[in-house]
Structure 1
Amino acid sequence: MNHTFPDDLMEAQRAWYAVYHRLATSQHTAQTTVLRRELLRLSVRISTHPYWTCLPSGVPAARMALKQAAWSEADQ
């Protein structure tokens, strides 16, 4: 199934990857706390987005498609 994700949902997923990368490469303990909180905030924003309620079925597959689409855009 081909998905057309809302811009704000794609942006949140791209931001999640960017914050995750910053967390993985951070050397400062104080910064990791802030980054972990940001990851949590973005995770909630992504998982509770209204788009997921519009799907008749296949939400797990759609979530994977979102992750793959955002990751592909990050590689370009």
Structure 2
Amino acid sequence: MESFSFPDDLIRAQREWHDVYRALAVPRPRRATELRRRLLMLSTRIEWHPFWSTPDGWTPAARVELRRQTRQNRQTRQADAA
């Protein structure tokens, strides 16, 4: 498996994207319009991040790895908090 060194702001944006997505996934979410706008803004920020213009960011595996790492870190943080 390749190892990628993602910028901190890209990792934060992807983590927040996961959080907002989960908030929208519940039945009848509060502030749904605000959450959808936030999700769209984060999606744009992630999609157009300068990292994707670097040699490491050119591979599709980099995008998959970013999502995998941010989901995995979230699960680890939840387990630590319990």
- TM-score, normalised to structure 2, is 0.83
User: Residues of 2 paired with 1:37 and 1:26: CA distance?
Assistant: 18
Task: Quote the offset at 1:43 in angstroms.
Answer: 0.3
Two-structure CA RMSD over aligned residues (Å): 1.5
Q: Partner residue of 2:42?
A: 42
Q: Report percent identity of matched pairs.
A: 42
Instruction: Mark the runs of 5 or more structure 2 residues left unpaired by the alignment.
Output: 77-82
User: Residues of 1 paired with 2:13 and 2:73: CA distance?
Assistant: 13
- TM-score, normalised to structure 1, is 0.89
Name the amino acid aligned to 2:74: A
User: Residues of 2 paired with 1:72 and 1:26: CA distance?
Assistant: 25
State the aligned residue count: 74
User: Residues of 2 paired with 1:33 and 1:26: CA distance?
Assistant: 14
Instruction: Mark the runs of 5 or more structure 1 residues left unpaired by the alignment.
Output: none
Asked which structure has the greater RCO (Cα within 8 Å, sep 6+), the reply is 1
1:16 aligns with 2:20: no
CA deviation map 1:24-53 (0-9, x unaligned): 115246x11111110000000001000000
Alignment of 1:22-61 (within 5 A): 22-25=23-26, 27-28=28-29, 31-55=31-55, 57-58=58-59, 60-61=60-61
